[in-house]
Chain A
């Protein structure tokens, strides 16, 4: 199938809501919350991942969440 044929199919596909209502335990409850969380994470990637990482048990904390950039990135430097 060519890209054009694939795109013609893609344009016709409709959204399908998840069949079960959110359980209350979910990290995100609906599409609006997803959009907000995605945008906030985009604004501050290091803060977002630091928040995720803080849910784990560490021997000792990181000196910095993010140093350098790709392809030489250092994440959670010094953390054990």
Chain B
């Protein structure tokens, strides 16, 4: 059983202001980097705000990351201090945090101090003079440090996002722009007030939590439920249990949570009292219309507003959204662009497309929460995000989208899912669904690889349900693609492998396949890959491929 406790704003302020004093005692000054390797604890909230208070730049690192992913980030930022915990608790088991950090700290000479929160009280190795427990540090501090003025364009925090090439990108957000835009976002997408009991289910390691709870959320004085744990333990009803137990009326979560609840259906829902619930806001991936209807009718008894939003770590806000209580929703869409966000949907040539047509979603005017650069790599920021032909100052989302005749935005997937074969735009998703029609094929990923003549050519990487000879496989796949799409889309090679790289949520990591296929020896950021152990074998399997005309 978890233990819960209540904290008042005054206590949070006191801890934050004393922690700010603690950070200064440990030598942290304005502009220094503080890495925060923690789950959703009250101390995490205080630690982040203590950094903002003294102008230190914080980098929150997802506490589920491997030591290597943590190492990449600490090295790239040059962190001077790390705040972590002895252990975290997941599904009733203690998982190491400080021990993970200890594995790699010798490789990060920039780190001068480590502050350790006692989450479980488990034994951890502490390095004399470098490491200190959070409560030992704070117990000697009475003095509160006042907020330090920081110019509006100075960096406030860094958040890493997976890259399409070798290194994850450290997106730099300003503290002040983020505060203004995140609070605006929360007001329109949730309409929080001091009367509300509100819960954001995201982990602090994803930007959703800083926007909708840590910074934007806290600006409205609601009662916040902070939960450190997974949503399917001790049983699948955890989400309902927490809403019912704390009489929550507004919740922010991810579509995947609702998919899973809808699959369990009404029996799981029946024992809980969700009658106070007024609003569910969402971000993360498309919400299918079927799940939307189930949530609306069953979970929400047609009384709960569902606000499915869209945003990226780069945009720092979920900038397409319903204006809650005011604008109608379309089940499955991502709402309307919020005031202050000018956008367009454009063709490959950078020309706006008509309503109802697919193109790339772009943002055409500055707004406060847009990431300002990539840490240590400003050139990459320009080349990755500002490459729309004829419009060097438009931000490219890299997402394919449609705006319908009512102005609602539908995000369909990454534009990388489209490949250009001899000037024909082909959807890799469409090709993959053709491949799955071959009975022997279990899973399929189609990747575009550069080709001197055609620009790009499709290559299919598949896992097999039943063994099949390579020539027969190639012939069957070609026929299936020919039947369903056309000759132009036939893959130049079909490579069977034992396993495909996947994320925790089971999505195939196509960019990694591309890195491996193109044969640069560097592979992309693998921190999001669940089954990293397969990569060695996969690399060999892809190397021995035989390209066919």
Contact = CB atoms under 8 A, between A and B. Distances in A.
Given A31-B326, A70-B366, A15 B340 contact: no
Contacts, number: 166
A22 B325 contact: yes
Contact of B332 (A13, A38, A45): A13
B153 A74 contact: yes
Contacts of A7: 356, 358, 402
Nearest to A6: B412
B interface secondary structure, majority: loop
A18 B356 CA distance: 24
B433 interface: yes
Given A23-B191, A77-B153, A69 B430 contact: no
Interface string B402-420: 1010100010100000000
A29 B278 CA distance: 17
Contact of B325 (A6, A20, A48): A20
Contact of B412 (A3, A16, A69, A77): A3
A24 to B, nearest CB: 10
Interface stretch (B174-182, B222-230, B455-463): B174-182
Interface string B183-211: 11001100101000000000000000000
B336 interface: yes
Nearest to A40: B339
B63 interface: no
A79 B152 contact: yes
Interface string B357-398: 010000001111010110000000110011000000111000
Given A2-B430, A26-B191, A71-B386, A16 B296 contact: yes
Contact of A3 (B152, B372, B427): B427
B330 A13 contact: yes
Nearest to A38: B339
A49 B329 contact: no
Interface string B322-355: 1111111111110011111010000000000000
B420 to A, nearest CB: 15
Interface in A24-80: 25-31, 33-34, 37-38, 40-42, 45, 48-49, 52-53, 56, 59-60, 62, 66, 69-71, 73-80
Given A10-B410, A18-B326, A48 B340 contact: yes
Nearest to B404: A10
Interface size for chain A: under 10, 10 to 19, 20 to 34, or 35 or more residues? Answer: 35 or more
A78 B188 CA distance: 28
Contact of B278 (A20, A33, A49, A73): A20
Contacts of A16: 296, 328-331
Interface in B273-332: 278, 289, 296, 300, 302-305, 322-332
A7 B400 CA distance: 12
B394 A53 contact: no
B192 to A, nearest CB: 10
Contacts of B393: 69-71
Given A18-B324, A70-B393, A79-B176, A13 B331 contact: yes
A15 B326 contact: no
Which residue of B153, B322, B373, B406 has the most chain A CB atoms within 10 A of its CB atom? B153
Contacts of B367: 45, 49
B151 A48 contact: no
A6 to B, nearest CB: 6
A1 B381 CA distance: 32
A1 B429 contact: yes
Contact of B327 (A10, A18, A21): A18
Contacts of A31: 326-328
Given A16-B329, A23-B325, A76-B152, 11 more contacts: A3-B412, A16-B330, A26-B323, A26-B324, A28-B327, A28-B339, A42-B342, A71-B386, A76-B153, A77-B153, A80-B152
A-B CB proximity, top 9 nearest:
A80-B149, A2-B430, A76-B152, A15-B328, A41-B339, A73-B366, A70-B393, A79-B152, A59-B149
Interface of B: 149-153, 174, 176-177, 179-180, 183-184, 187-188, 191, 193, 278, 289, 296, 300, 302-305, 322-333, 336-340, 342, 356, 358, 365-368, 370, 372-373, 381-382, 385-386, 393-395, 400, 402, 404, 406, 410, 412, 427, 429-430, 433
21 contacts: A3-B427, A3-B430, A9-B332, A13-B330, A14-B330, A16-B330, A16-B331, A20-B325, A21-B325, A27-B187, A34-B327, A34-B339, A52-B184, A53-B180, A56-B183, A70-B365, A70-B366, A71-B382, A75-B153, A75-B368, A80-B149
